[in-house]
Amino acid sequence: MARTLGEMAAVLGLPCSQPHIEISQIISDSRQRQPGALFVAYRGVQVDGHRFIDDALAHGARAVVGEQALQLPVPYLQVPDGRYALGLLAAAWEGYPSRQLGVIGVTGTDGKTTTSHLIDAVLSAAGLRTGLLTTVSARAGAQVLDTGLHTTTPDASQLQSYLRAMKEAGSQYAVVETTSHGLSQWRVAGIDYDVAVVTNVTHEHLDEHGSHEAYLAAKARLLELVATSQAKAGIPKRLILNADDGAYARLRGWVDVPQLSYGIGSGDVQAVDIEQKAGGLRFEVRGAGRPALTVQTPLWGRFNVYNCLAAIATAFALEVDETAILEGLRHPPQIPGRMQRIDRGQPFMALVDFAHTPFALEAALRTARSLTSGRLIVVFGSAGLRDVEKRRMMGEVAGRLADLTIVTAEDPRTEDLQPIMAASVAACRAVRGNVLAVADRYQAIMQALQAADAGDVVMICGKGHEQSMCFGQVEYAWDDRVALAHALDVTMGRSQTPPPFRLPTSDLD
């Protein structure tokens, strides 16, 4: 596949002195090294891509896009924002696939993945062909693609290639989990969104955005993208907002796009008469001029009422019938690492959940508390090189809600693990929580299981579906679900095999 430099310049609205130069690929990593490439340089979070222009040229790049005023031996296109330019170029390169799909973007601090899967389940139950992109995986038709380690929103080129694959698979809608990083870094530039779903905006990612106001603005960029996208025949533009969230008052007037709000006893789409039993949730949904629905789902927890409401409001906006809505929520997929039960015949409940923010941890622990009359034991950590304040906040949450808290490693990266853990431990103790510090995550799980009695709940929080843990700059193989299953077998005397993973902390405790 080749394009001309003139075509690429036109996408950016720039003149080009050598429009007939053929371009074989658009790259932002000089290590990709394909002759004939157009190299896009921008100031990254840790590295300035302009430093690698010479390397890209040495390996055959024919032209460069960048943010600085430069004189180069090849054609150079200067832009105000290289990331934004890369998104537009990637969309054009793949043939603007989002213009041929209904695109539903799901953002928020918590619940994005679950909500995305629920929307996909409801649309599929209605007979609509869908593609799905979340932090867990990407699906185009029947093909499921791994999105890698610690992936949020993929880079612009990969994201546009996923959308093209969905279009080619015959999808009518693409459900795209859209993170604040993907929005603030313009990875989603060039996507014509039709529906924006916001789950909530709570404390998270202040390391990236600097302030809650900047974080909110990053989330709100999704609303702006809906407002400015090209209109598509038969697909309405809508905003789906959580009326119970603290950010709702700000977001509801952010752009002039029709919206539906949802909430528990509030909003346009309301959940009332909520019941939770061992088999899941049951509640009634009213509003938006639609007949009342009695929803039954195997999902647990008040937070999943909100996730279901977001999916229902989206379905209402797209005029999906009530039968499909009920069917999709009655048989949702098991979302990896989201309140996922690991059952090896033990006399207590063992769960893995992705909860890695204070809000999500509190929601998960409150749900777990409702599932047992015994004790609640939680294992969690906080990531290095990320928002420092949440270490204290999560410790306080665990101290208030769990009977035993075990603080452990969770992607310390290049930070010293001990101070990370110490912040959560001190906060837990400050609210009189019963807390242990166990650096090795496998041993922390083992201690939690050894402390558990019949009828208790043990929750392993923070990693969920992820399959690696980062120490220094190295990703070590790790999966909470595999580790928990193995530890259960060992605890119950069914296995004497060594732990399935070995981390740098294995010799610290």
Instruction: Give the Å distances, CA to CA, from 275 to 251, 281, 366.
Output: 30, 6, 15
Global pTM reads 0.88
Q: Which two three-digit tokens encode residue 415?
A: 């930070």
Which pLDDT score is estimated for 205? 47
Q: Which two three-digit tokens encode residue 96?
A: 């603007």
Of the candidates 226, 230, 191, 206, the one whose C-alpha atom is nearest the C-alpha of residue 84 is 191
Of the candidates 379, 375, 361, 357, the one whose C-alpha atom is nearest the C-alpha of residue 484 is 379
Q: Walk along the chain (509 residues) in steps of 10 and give the mean pLDDT of each run.
A: 88 95 93 88 89 94 96 97 97 96 96 96 97 91 69 84 96 96 94 97 58 87 97 96 96 96 97 92 96 96 96 98 98 91 96 93 94 95 92 97 98 96 97 96 98 97 94 95 97 93 78
Distance CA 479, CA 465 (A): 7
Tens of pLDDT, residue by residue over 250-300, are: 999 999 999 999 999 999 999 999 999 878 999 999 999 999 999 999 999
Q: Is 398 exposed, middle or buried (0-12, 13-18, 19+ CB in 10 A)?
A: buried
Q: How many other β-carbons are positioned within 10 Å of the β-carbon of residue 362?
A: 20
Mean pLDDT of the residues in the chain: 93
Measured in Å, how far apart are the chain's first and last C-alpha atoms? Answer: 55
Return contacts of 502-505, CB within 8 angstroms, 24+ apart.
Answer: 502/476, 503/409, 503/440, 503/441, 503/442, 503/469, 503/471, 503/476, 503/478, 504/471, 504/472, 504/476, 505/409, 505/417, 505/439, 505/440, 505/441, 505/471
* Phi, psi at 507, each rounded to 5°: -105, 10
Report the DSSP beta bridge partners of residue 27. 39
Dihedral sign of CA atoms 101, 104, 107, 112 in order: negative
Which pLDDT score is estimated for 2? 66
Amino acid at residue number 190: G
Which pLDDT score is estimated for 209? 45
Which pLDDT score is estimated for 211? 79
Contact 308, 299 (CB under 8 A): yes
Which pLDDT score is estimated for 416? 96
Tens of pLDDT, residue by residue over 321-362, are: 999 999 999 999 888 899 999 999 999 999 999 999 998 999
Contacts of 493 (CB under 8 A, 6+ apart): none
Contact 332, 118 (CB under 8 A): yes
Q: Which two three-digit tokens encode residue 217?
A: 């603005």
Domains recognised in the chain with CATH numbers: 3-92 (3.40.1390.10), 95-330 (3.40.1190.10), 340-491 (3.90.190.20)
Q: Which two three-digit tokens encode residue 234?
A: 């038969």
Q: Which two three-digit tokens encode residue 409?
A: 């490693």
Of the candidates 293, 296, 283, the one whose C-alpha atom is nearest the C-alpha of residue 316 is 293
Contacts of 375 (CB under 8 A, 6+ apart): 403, 404, 452, 453, 456, 457
Contacts of 61 (CB under 8 A, 6+ apart): 27, 30, 36, 37, 38, 39, 74
Which pLDDT score is estimated for 379? 98
Q: Which two three-digit tokens encode residue 127?
A: 């007979």
Helix (H, G, I), strand (E, B), or coil: what is residue 51?
helix
Q: Is 334 exposed, middle or buried (0-12, 13-18, 19+ CB in 10 A)?
A: exposed
- DSSP per-residue codes, 176-192: EE--HHHHHTTTTTT--
Q: Are strands 63-66 and 102-107 parallel, antiparallel or unpaired?
A: unpaired
Of the candidates 101, 237, 92, the one whose C-alpha atom is nearest the C-alpha of residue 160 is 92
Contacts of 458 (CB under 8 A, 6+ apart): 348, 349, 350, 351, 377, 378, 379, 448, 449, 452
Of the candidates 335, 350, 253, the one whose C-alpha atom is nearest the C-alpha of residue 298 is 335
Beta strands in 5-50 (DSSP E): 22-23, 25-27, 37-40
Number of H helices, E strands in the chain: 16, 25
The C-alpha angle with vertex 386 and arms to 383 and 390, in degrees rounded to 5, equals: 80
